[in-house]
Amino acid sequence: MNSFSLPLILLLSLSLGRAVAADGQLRFNEDVRPLLSKKCIACHGPDADKGRKGDLRLDIPDGDQGAYRVLDGVQAIKPGDLANSEVWQRIIADDPDDIMPPPEKKSHIKPLTSEEKDVLKRWIEQGAEYEDFWAFVPPRQHELPEVSLSDWSGDPIDRFALAKMEEKGLSPSERADRRSLIRRVSLDLTGLPPTLDEVDAFLHDESADAYEKLVDRLLGQASYGEHMAKYWLDLVRFADTNGAHHDHFRDLTPYRDWVIRSFNENLSYDEFVKYQVAGDLYENPTTDQLIASGFNRLHIIIDVGTALPEESFTKNVIDRVSAVGTAFMGLTLQCAVCHDHKYDPISQKDFFSMYAFFNNFDGEPETGRRGTPDFKKGLQPPYILVGTPEQKARLAELELSISASSGEVRSSLEAERQALQNSMRGAMVMKEREDPRPSHVLIRGAYDNPGEIVPRDTPSFLPPLKKDDHVDRMDLAEWLVDPVNPLSARVAVNRFWQQFFGVGIVKTSEDFGAQGEWPSHPELLDHLALEFVESGWDIKSLVRSIVLSETYQQRSEAPREAFVSDPENRMLARGSRFRLDSEVIRDQVLAVSGLLNPAMYGHSVKFPQPEGLWKIVTMPSSFPRNFEPAKEDEVYRRSVYSFWKRGLPPPQMTIFDAPNRDACIARRERTNTPLQALVMMNETEYFAAAKHLARGVMEKENMAEDLKVSLLYETMTSRPPSDTEKERLLSALAKFRALYQDDPGSAAAMFPNTPAAGESAAWTMLVHSLMNLDTFKNRE
Amino acid sequence: MNPYQEHNDHLNRRQFLNTTGMGLGAAALGSLLSQVEAAGGKHIAGPHNEPKAKRVIFLFMAGAPSQLDLFDYKPDLAARFKEPLPPSVTQGQRVTAMTKGKEQLVAPSKYKFSRHGENGIWLSELLPHTGSVIDDICLIKSTNTDAINHDPGKTLFCTGTEIPGKASMGAWLSYGLGRLNENLPDFVVLNSAFWTGGTSNVQALYSRLWGSGFLPSKHQGVAFQPAGDPVLFLSNPDGVTRKVRHQMLDFVTEMNQEHLGAIGDPEIQTTIAQQEMAFRMQMSVPELTDLSDEPQSVLDLYGPEVHKSGSFARNCLLARRMAERDVRCIQLFHRGWDHHVKLPQQLEGQCYDVDQACAGLLKDLKQRGLLEDTLVVFGGEFGRTTYCQGTLTHDDYGRDHHPRCFSTWMAGAGVKGGITHGETDDYCYNVVKDGVHVRDFNATILNQLGLDHNKLTFPFLGLDQKLTGVNPARVVKEILA
C-alpha cells in the first residue's frame, strides 16, 4: 500500500461526514439523534397510541413526557449529571428487566454498542442539549466557508464542497479533459452521448466560455426534457397498466408528454408541483393544468369485480397521499396510516388530515367494465380528449362544417367527428365532487373502521396553512411551494443533485425524516434550496449551476484508494463515476449506431422483447394479453416511451435496476450482475445495432483500417484509442476475422445471403465487444 | 438507513477486489466471484441460528385451492347441503364484492376422503399421490391470512405485506444468506405455461412476487422461461459461437483491465467477474435444463406431463435439478386454482397437474438424500368458502375466496412428517386451534434456513423492513422435529 492508505476508522468518518467536531462537542442532530432514532424512539417517541412506553419521550426535551421530566423524584435525563439520569442508569443496568433498550428477544432492537453508549454518555455530560430536527426548520443562508485553496473557485457550490474536503484532509481533483467532460455532461443532461461532430466542435472552441455554451446548448435540446422526465416518472410511478388483478391497459401518456414538455419549456418547479397536485382547481384550467392533475390518477388501481369498492377507494387515496409525501415532501407519510409515525412527528390524525385533500375524487375507485370504448383506450372518467395539433385542427374544422350543414352531409360529418374523437388520446384528470366527503381517521388504518372526522390540514409540526376555512387541494399545493415550507425545495434540489453525482447530499432522497440519512453537506443543501426558491424555482438554472461548478467538472480518475475510502464519492473530491441507467444504456446503443428515432411523444411503444414473457403472467382476459412488438422505425424510439406493464416491465430495463413502477421510487439502486452482462452480450436489438454500425464503418471507402477502428472507438467512447488500445483493437479484429474464415457457416448465420459475410461478422464482433466495455455503460 | 453497515460491506468488497483482483487474467477469474462472496463482500445478514435447510422449494398454488375438497375433511357438512351458513359462524366477516348481499349456502365437498400413512391422515381422492408421501408431510389446516383478493393475497404471502414494493422471500434469502452456488442464480422462479381443467380462472402474476423491492436487484428472482432461452438473453446471437464469445470476452477483459489501471474504480473488476459468470451460465443453464440424462424411472415419478416443457411436472423435475445444484430458493407458480363456479371440473384438472408431480418431487429428493436439507412448501394465497357461488347441486358448485382458514403443507429439512397441525370448525370457516398466519408460515421457513425473521432486516423508508412486516410473527415450533 502507498501513502494513500488510511486507517479504517478514519476512512469511515471521511465518507460519512460524521466526524465529531474538533472541539469534541457532540452535535445533537448529527451525533445523537440518529442513534436515539434507531434504538429508543420506536417506544419513546412521537407515537402516542400503543407505541409509547413509560410516558417518556426521548425525541423532545420538555413537557410532561419530555426527556427532562421528573416523575416520582426521578429525572429521565438530567443535563450534565449521569448519576441522576435514569436513562443512563438503565442503559448501564445489568438486570435484564431494567436494561434499555430491552434485550433483543423482547424488543427486536439491537443493543447499544459501546461506541453508541459513549456518545450518549458524553452528550448527557455535555449538557444533553436538544436541537430542532434539521429538515423541519427552514433552510438558512450560511456564510461561505473559509478555505485554504482559495483560488480553486469562487463558486458557492465549490466553496462548500471544498471546505468539506479540507475538513477531511482531501483536495479537489483536476478538471476533466474536454472529451470526458462533453461525454459526461451530454449523458447527464440529455441521456445521449455526444456525436463526433459535437465532440469536435467543443474541442476546437477556444472561447473562454466554451463549456458554458455547450451546457446551454444541451439544456436547449428536446432530449433534455426526455431525459429529465425519466427520473420524474419513476418518482410518480408512471406506467401503462393498472397494476392489479388483470393488469389492464391504462393510458396516461398525455401526462408523460406533459412532463417532458414542462422540463423542456422550463416550467418553474412551483408551478410544476401545483399543476400536478391541483391543476384541476385553477380558475379555467388550461389543458396542461388538467393533464398534469393526472398525477392523482397514477396510482395502482384494481379492476372492478372482485375487490370491495370502499376498500379500493381507501387504498387509492392512501396511495395518492403517500405519493405527495415521497415526491414533494420527502416524508414517509404512509407510516402513519395505522398508527402515529414511530419516528417522525406525523400523527395518524395528520395523515388523515392530508387524506381529506384527496378523498373527494369524483370518479370510480375501480377501473371500468371491459368492452366499452373507454376501456379499449385505457381510459376511465373523468378525462379530457387531447389530440395532436393536426387532430385538433381537423376537429375544429369539423365543428364548423357540422354547424353549417344538415341532412346526410351533417350525419356523415358527425360520424367523422366521432371517429376522430375515438382516435384521439384521452388524459385522465383529477376532479372534485360537489359535496366534499368527510375524512375520518381510520382506526388501525382499516377502511371499514372510521373514527373521528378530521378537517383538511397539513401536518401540525410544519408551518400552518395560511387559510383557515374552505381549504382545498390548491391551498395544499400552494403550501407545498411556499418558501416557508422547510422540505419542498430541499427535497427537490437534492434529487436533481443526485442525478449529477450519483447520490444525493441526503442519500435517502425519499426520506428526509429522522430515519433518513444525515446530509453530507447540510450548508450546501441549504444554499441550493434558497437559491432555487430565489431564482423562481428555475430548474434549468439550478441544473446549470450544478454542472458549471468545478466540483462537477473534476476528473473521475482517482487512485484506487480514493475509491476504496469513498466509494460513492460523498466527499466530492473527484468527479463521480457510476453506471448509466437502463434507458440511457439502450438509447446510447441506438444513438452510436445511428438508428435512434428522435420522434417525440405519443402512445407508449412496445420495444421487442423475448417472446412469451407476458404469456407467463397475464390472464386470458387481460387486456392486452399478447405482446405485439412495435414495427419499423418505432423500434428505435427512446426508452422513455417504453410501454410499462407493471406486472412485467421490459426486462432490458428491470435487469438494469429500473423499478416496476408499483410504488414511488426516488432513487434507483445500481447493481452489477451477470444478468446484465447477458443483456449486453445477447439482447437482439443491441446486437442488431452493432451489426448496423459495423457495416456502416466497414463499407467506408478510402479509409485505412486503423482509421476505421479509431473511428469506431471514438464513436462509442467519445475519445480516440491510445496506441496500445488501437493495437488491441486491430489484433482483436484480426482474430475475429481468422475465426470466421475458419467457420464461414457462422458468418453466414450472422449475415445470411450477404457478400463478405465473414468480414461483416468480424467487424460486428469488434463493435459488439466495444458495446460490452465497462466504460461504455458508465458515466465517468 | 444503516450507513455504517452498508459502508462497511461496500468497503470490504472494494478492498477485497483491490488486494486480490489485480493482475488476474480472464482465465483466473473463474472463481473470483465466489471468492468475493466468501470474503463477506456482500450483504450477508445471516445465518442467525443452526440451519436445517440449505434451500427451499415453494410450490405456490396461485388462485387458492379449495381446502374443503382436498385437505380438510368435513364429513358432517353433507347433512347441511344448501343450508344457510349460521351467522354464529360467519360473524359478520368481510366478504368479497362477489358474495356481498348474497345468500351463503353450504356446499359440501363431493369428493371421497380416505386415510393415508402411518397416522391415517385424511385426504381427498383427488390427491392419491400426495397420500403416498403423507408420512413426509406436515399438513397445516389452520393457515390464515389478511387478504381477501388475489393480488393483495399473493403479494402478502410472497413479500410480507399487501402493499406492493417490498422484497420477496427468495430475495430475502439471497440477501440474508448469500450465494450457494457459482454458476446459477440464487433464486429461480418457474411458472407453469399451461393448466389442465380450463383457463377461465387463471391468475395474473406480477414480477413483484419475486422482485427484490428495496433490496438490491441482484437479489431478485430469475424467472426461467418455458420456451426459448430458459434465462433471458442467455443464448449467443446467430453466428456467435462459443469460441467467438470466448475470444470476445478475452478482448473485452483486456480492455477493461487496462481501463481499470487508468481510472482506478474497482467496480470495473466486478464487471469483469460478472461477464465471466455470464459466460459460465451459458454452459451451466443448458446443462441444468437438459433432461436427457434422467432415467425413465425418475421421469415416471413425476408423471406423463413431465415430457411437456412448461408443465408443472417438468418444473418440479427442474426444481430438483436446481436443488442438486444448490439454487437457494426455487419458487413454482401454478395458477389455475380460482374456482368460483364449476369447481369440480376445474379442480380435477389442477390436481392432475400437481398431485403426482409434487409427490414425485418429494420421492426424488428423498431418494437422493436431498429432502434432509431441502424444505418443500405448498400453498396458495388463501382458501375457499364453505358456501357456494354459482350453481349449487351435489355435483356442481363453486367457492369464493376465504382468508380465515386454508390448508398448506411443509416437508423435509427438520419438519415433522406424517402429522397435521391446527384445526378448523365444523364448517371449515374459522380456525379453532393452532392458527398459523402466513407471517408465521414465512417465519418458519426462514427459521429452517437459519434466519430469525426479527433479525433479518433492511432499512428502507425509515423502517427496519422485514419479510414478516410490522405485525408479530412466530415460528411454528410445534411442527419442527
Instruction: Indicate the CATH number for domain B55-226+295-479.
Output: 3.40.720.10
* Chain B residues within 8 A of A506 when measuring between CB atoms: none
Q: Which of A749, A646, A562 is nearest to A171 (CA)?
A: A562
Total domains present in chain A: 5
SS (H, E, C) A404-451: CCCHHHHHHHHHHHHHHHHHCEEEECCCECCCCCCEEEEHHHCCCCEE
* A775 touching chain B per CB within 8 A: yes
Beta strand segments in A569-642, E: 578-579
pLDDT at A141 over 90: yes
Q: B396, B47 in Cβ contact below 8 A?
A: no
Least confident interval from A39-43, A656-660, B84-88, B375-379: A39-43
* A627 touching chain B per CB within 8 A: no
Grid cell digits, residue A476: 395544499
A198 within a domain of the structure (yes/no): yes
Instruction: Look at A513 and B462 and tell me if their CB atoms are within 8 Å.
Output: yes
* Main-chain phi, psi angles of B162, to 5 degrees: -75, -20
A307 lies in the same domain as A449: yes
* Chain B residues within 8 A of A678 when measuring between CB atoms: 231-234, 278, 281
What is the rounded average pLDDT of the residues A308-319?
Answer: 94
Tell me the helix, strand and coil percentages in chain A, rounded to 5: 50, 5, 45
Separation in Å, CA of B283 to nearest CA in chain A: 13
Instruction: Answer left, alpha or beta for residue A679, where phi above 0 means left and psi between -120 and 50 means alpha.
Output: alpha
What is the rounded average pLDDT of the residues B142-152?
Answer: 92
A323 lies in the same domain as A265: yes
| pLDDT of res. B33 | 37
A692 within a domain of the structure (yes/no): yes
How many angstroms separate the Cα of A365 from the Cα of each of A99, A610, B16, B145? 49, 34, 53, 24
What is the rounded average pLDDT of the residues A755-765?
Answer: 97
Stronger pLDDT, B193 or B44, i.e. the higher one: B193
Instruction: Look at A511 and B15 and tell me if their CB atoms are within 8 Å.
Output: no
Confidence of residue B44 (pLDDT cuts 50, 70, 90): low
Note which residues in 57-116 of chain B have CB less than 8 A from chain A.
94, 96-98, 100
Q: A559, B14 in Cβ contact below 8 A?
A: no
Q: Which of A295, A284, A256, A269 is nearest to A386 (CA)?
A: A256
- pLDDT tens-place string over residues A707-744: 999 999 999 999 999 999 999 999 999 999 999 999 99
Q: Shortest CB distance from B7 goes to which of A12, A306, A765?
A: A12
* A577 touching chain B per CB within 8 A: yes
* A108 touching chain B per CB within 8 A: yes
Amino acid type, A22 = A
Least confident interval from A130-134, A187-191, A221-225: A130-134
pLDDT at A20 over 80: no
* Chain B residues within 8 A of A684 when measuring between CB atoms: 237
* A302 touching chain B per CB within 8 A: yes
A267 lies in the same domain as A198: no
Instruction: Look at A750 and B239 and tell me if their CB atoms are within 8 Å.
Output: yes
* A562 touching chain B per CB within 8 A: yes
| pLDDT of res. A49 | 65
A63 lies in the same domain as A89: yes
A240 lies in the same domain as A99: no
Share of chain A above pLDDT 90, in %: 78
- In chain A, whose CA is at the least distance from the CA of B472? A108
pLDDT at B39 over 60: no
Instruction: Look at B247 and A773 and tell me if their CB atoms are within 8 Å.
Output: no
Q: Shortest CB distance from B278 goes to which of A245, A654, A678?
A: A678
Instruction: Look at B204 and A622 and tell me if their CB atoms are within 8 Å.
Output: yes
| pLDDT of res. A23 | 61
A210 lies in the same domain as A247: no
| pLDDT of res. A499 | 97
Q: Shortest CB distance from B165 goes to which of A344, A560, A663?
A: A663
Share of chain B above pLDDT 90, in %: 68
Note which residues in 265-284 of chain B have CB less than 8 A from chain A.
265-268, 270-272, 274-275, 277-278, 281
| pLDDT of res. A198 | 98
Instruction: Look at B266 and A669 and tell me if their CB atoms are within 8 Å.
Output: no
Query: CB B38: neighbour CB atoms within 10 A?
Result: 14
Complex ipTM: 0.90
A47 within a domain of the structure (yes/no): yes
Which of A12, A234, A681 to mutate to test binding with chain B, by most B CBs within 10 Å of its CB? A681
Instruction: Look at A669 and B217 and tell me if their CB atoms are within 8 Å.
Output: yes
Per-chain mean pLDDT for chain B: 88
- What domain range includes position A210? 178-219
A240 lies in the same domain as A289: yes
* Main-chain phi, psi angles of A358, to 5 degrees: -115, 5
A251 lies in the same domain as A329: yes
- pLDDT tens-place string over residues A453-506: 999 999 999 999 988 788 999 999 999 999 999 999 999 999 999 999 999 999
- In chain A, whose CA is at the least distance from the CA of B235? A682
* Chain B residues within 8 A of A183 when measuring between CB atoms: none
A295 lies in the same domain as A249: yes
A406 lies in the same domain as A356: no
Separation in Å, CA of B294 to nearest CA in chain A: 26
CB within 8 Å of A404: residues ≥ 6 apart:
none
| pLDDT of res. B1 | 34
Burial of B292 (0-12, 13-18, 19+ CB in 10 A): exposed
CB within 8 Å of A316: residues ≥ 6 apart:
A299, A301, A361, A365
pLDDT at A241 over 70: yes
* Spacing of C-alpha B377 from chain mean position: 7
Least confident interval from A33-37, A153-157, A162-166, B50-54: A33-37
Q: A740, A746 in Cβ contact below 8 A?
A: yes
- pLDDT tens-place string over residues A65-103: 899 988 888 899 999 999 999 999 999 998 888 889 888
A139 within a domain of the structure (yes/no): no
Highest mean pLDDT: which of A378-382, A618-622, B99-103? A378-382
Q: DSSP labels for A297-318?
A: G-S--PBTTSS-HHHHHHHHHH
* Chain B residues within 8 A of A514 when measuring between CB atoms: 462
| pLDDT of res. B16 | 33
CB within 8 Å of A694: residues ≥ 6 apart:
A712, A760, A763, A764, A766, A767, A768
* A6 touching chain B per CB within 8 A: no
pLDDT at B19 over 60: no
Which of A555, A662, A763 to mutate to test binding with chain B, by most B CBs within 10 Å of its CB? A662
Instruction: Look at A672 and B231 and tell me if their CB atoms are within 8 Å.
Output: no
Give the helix ranges, DSSP H, for A683-756.
684-698, 705-717, 723-742, 744-750
Which of B249, B263, B283 to mutate to test binding with chain A, by most A CBs within 10 Å of its CB? B263
Grid cell digits, residue B462: 425509515
| pLDDT of res. A95 | 87
Q: Shortest CB distance from A657 goes to which of B10, B217, B263?
A: B217
Rounded Cα gap, residues B142 and B404, in angstroms: 8
* A631 touching chain B per CB within 8 A: no
A340 lies in the same domain as A438: yes
Q: B404, B430 in Cβ contact below 8 A?
A: yes
Q: A430, A293 in Cβ contact below 8 A?
A: yes
Which of B156, B246, B251 to mutate to test binding with chain A, by most A CBs within 10 Å of its CB? B251
How many angstroms separate the Cα of A19 from the Cα of each of A13, A112, B360? 5, 19, 60
* Main-chain phi, psi angles of B93, to 5 degrees: -65, 150
Grid cell digits, residue A694: 459495423
Domain ranges of chain B: 55-226+295-479
Rounded Cα gap, residues B409 and B375, in angstroms: 11
pLDDT at B477 over 90: yes
Instruction: Look at B258 and A682 and tell me if their CB atoms are within 8 Å.
Output: no
- pLDDT tens-place string over residues A588-600: 999 999 999 999 9
Rounded Cα gap, residues A576 and B202, in angstroms: 48
What is the rounded average pLDDT of the residues A772-779?
Answer: 97
Positive or negative, the Cα torsion across A409, A413, A414, A418? Answer: positive
Q: Which of A113, A115, A129 is nearest to A26 (CA)?
A: A129
Which of A619, A656, A736 to mutate to test binding with chain B, by most B CBs within 10 Å of its CB? A619
How many angstroms separate the Cα of A315 from the Cα of each of A160, A243, A322, B74, B223? 43, 13, 10, 37, 29
First vs last Cα of chain B: how many Å apart? 38
Positive or negative, the Cα torsion across A614, A616, A617, A619? Answer: positive
Share of chain A above pLDDT 70, in %: 96
A619 within a domain of the structure (yes/no): no
* A344 touching chain B per CB within 8 A: yes
Q: A103, A110 in Cβ contact below 8 A?
A: no
- pLDDT tens-place string over residues A188-213: 999 999 999 999 999 999 999 999 99
A523 within a domain of the structure (yes/no): no
CA atoms within 13 A on the CB side of A241: 27
Instruction: Look at B265 and A563 and tell me if their CB atoms are within 8 Å.
Output: yes
Query: CB B243: neighbour CB atoms within 10 A?
Result: 12
pLDDT at A704 over 60: yes
* A676 touching chain B per CB within 8 A: yes
A109 lies in the same domain as A183: no
Rounded Cα gap, residues A245 and A303, in angstroms: 7
Rounded Cα gap, residues A1 and A561, in angstroms: 9
Separation in Å, CA of B34 to nearest CA in chain A: 13
* Chain A residues within 8 A of B459 when measuring between CB atoms: 515
Beta bridge partners of B253: none
* Chain B residues within 8 A of A8 when measuring between CB atoms: 11
Note which residues in 227-246 of chain B have CB less than 8 A from chain A.
227-229, 231-241, 243-245
- In chain B, whose CA is at the least distance from the CA of A579? B267
- pLDDT tens-place string over residues A148-173: 998 999 999 999 999 999 999 999 99
* Chain A residues within 8 A of B238 when measuring between CB atoms: 749-750
- In chain B, whose CA is at the least distance from the CA of A688? B237
Q: A377, A251 in Cβ contact below 8 A?
A: yes
Q: Note the pTM of the prediction, 2 decimals.
A: 0.86
* Main-chain phi, psi angles of A71, to 5 degrees: -130, 125
Confidence of residue A21 (pLDDT cuts 50, 70, 90): low
